[in-house]
Structure 1
Amino acid sequence: MITVGVLCEGQTEETMVREFLGPELEPEGIFLVPTILLTGSTAGGPSGRGGVSKWSKIEKDLRNRLSSTPHWAAVTTLLDYYGLPPDSPGMADRPTGSPRQRVEHVEQRIAERINHPRFVPYLVMHETEAWVFAAAEQLAEWYEDPALGGELQRQADAAGGPELVNNGPDTAPSKRLQRLLPGYNKRLDGPVAVTQLGLPALRAVSPHFDSWICELLAQAEPN
């Protein structure tokens, strides 16, 4: 069993790791430890948690976790590509190409900036809520609304897959879910649906996510 720390953007991502990814990967010999990005603090008060505003805050948190946890096999990230600070490495010189090529360019530049052998960068295309589009049927069952599942699946298919549901301010996965489901609770409903979907099914329709899981699984392989 190896331990991998996961730096999460917020509470939704932490819940996804704790309730979905952790139980799925533990049988593979990987114990995930989710922690939420520290975004700031006030004198005498608790540190701010969640959200991303500046690359410097992400970098500081990553370096602190890597230096303070030498017993962890790796440290990875679970951050949304949508809304990533524009000053993050690779954002200014993203190539013209597919969304996945652009995301992987930024991940590569982040890896070069951190420059640590135990660091495995991962940015979600385009938000964690994209995973919920993969779990359209499961979310529809949770809400007892068959038409909902059909609409989510239609939108995912129109985009070319759940990961390609895009990153516009009105069309990002979270914005679409809010319009379709005004009462949607991202910290409860999303993790429930994705957990019911299961890891193999999510990997099958999310190539970039699948590549990340492959990297994590490689960490547990004997040298």
Structure 2
Amino acid sequence: MARLYLFAEGQTEQTFADILIKPQLARHDVFMNRPRLIAHARKKGQVHRGGGRNYAPMKNDILRSLKEDSNSDVFFTTMIDLYAIHPDFPGLAESERMRQDPIRRVEFLEERFAEDIGDRRFIPYIQLHEYEAYLFSDPTCFEYLDAGRTKEIEALRAIASQYQTPELINDGQQTAPSKRIIAQFPDYGKAKSIFGPLLAEQIGLHVIRNKCSHFDKWLSRLESLNEKGVSS
């Protein structure tokens, strides 16, 4: 049996991990604690969680947790976005030369993240480019919000068809996955943390994994923790 702690950037990832990833890992005897929001600040001794991307508080949060539970059968991972990642993130400046190859770039940043934390039990994961990319795995999921919005759903399908994988939908301020979704479904932006996981559940984890190779690689690694430990 292996145990896992997951640090989520926001409530959307937190709920997604709890309702989709947690039961999937349990089938492989990897038991995940309730996902926690990662720290974004520490003021007057109080840790503030979620919604921020400041690197130093995130790093300190992870290091504290590693120290609190030093058992060899417990592992730690993250779900944070590449989109709008903080300038202080390790390796970010160097990764700019890889911008034309987003998958290579994000893997490089994960390697630098792991090196900076310096504990073999830590398995970093950075989303390409943000959570909403998963929802482009099957845009018909938006029928859940409004089955009559066929024109808007087709617009999202057309966007998805332009990319080899939804994970390559870019990180522009107006063209990131969430921005494209909100342009067609404004109500999504008002309740992302509620709609995001529900829509992913409509799609199904197996479809998302099939469409999003970087996500699938990370989840496969987590599934193998009970068998192979942290080896990649």
Alpha-carbon distance in 2 for matches of 1:220, 1:142: 38
**Partner SS state of residue 168, structure 1:** coil
Alpha-carbon distance in 1 for matches of 2:227, 2:53: 36
2:174 matched to which residue of 1? 170
Alpha-carbon distance in 1 for matches of 2:165, 2:195: 20
- Of 105, 129, 134 in structure 1, the residue corresponding to residue 132 of structure 2 is 129
Change in Cα spacing, 1:146 to 1:2, as seen in structure 2 (3 Å) is farther
2:44 matched to which residue of 1? 43
2:192 matched to which residue of 1? 186
**Partner SS state of residue 94, structure 2:** coil
> Displacement of 1:63 after TM fit?
0.5
- Taking the TM superposition and a 5 Å limit, the aligned residue runs for 1:2-13 are 2-13=2-13
TM-score, length of structure 2 as denominator length = 0.89
Number of aligned pairs?
Answer: 222
Change in Cα spacing, 1:69 to 1:146, as seen in structure 2 (3 Å) is farther
Alpha-carbon distance in 2 for matches of 1:32, 1:198: 19
> Displacement of 1:157 after TM fit?
1.7
Alpha-carbon distance in 2 for matches of 1:166, 1:210: 19
1:150 matched to which residue of 2? 154
- The amino acid of 2:216's aligned partner reads D
Change in Cα spacing, 1:41 to 1:114, as seen in structure 2 (3 Å) is closer
Change in Cα spacing, 1:165 to 1:221, as seen in structure 2 (3 Å) is same
> Displacement of 1:125 after TM fit?
0.2
**Partner SS state of residue 183, structure 1:** helix
The 8 Å contact of residues 139 and 189 in structure 1, kept in 2 or not, is answered as: no
Provide structure 1 residue ranges, at least 5 long, that are not aligned to the other structure. Answer: none
Superposition CA RMSD, Å: 1.8
Alpha-carbon distance in 1 for matches of 2:201, 2:53: 29
Change in Cα spacing, 1:42 to 1:113, as seen in structure 2 (3 Å) is closer
Matched, 1:16 2:19: no
Higher mean displacement: 99-108 or 66-75: 66-75
Matched, 1:55 2:55: yes
> Displacement of 1:41 after TM fit?
4.0
Alpha-carbon distance in 2 for matches of 1:117, 1:165: 31
Alpha-carbon distance in 2 for matches of 1:188, 1:175: 17
Provide structure 2 residue ranges, at least 5 long, that are not aligned to the other structure. Answer: none
Percent identity, aligned pairs only, is 32
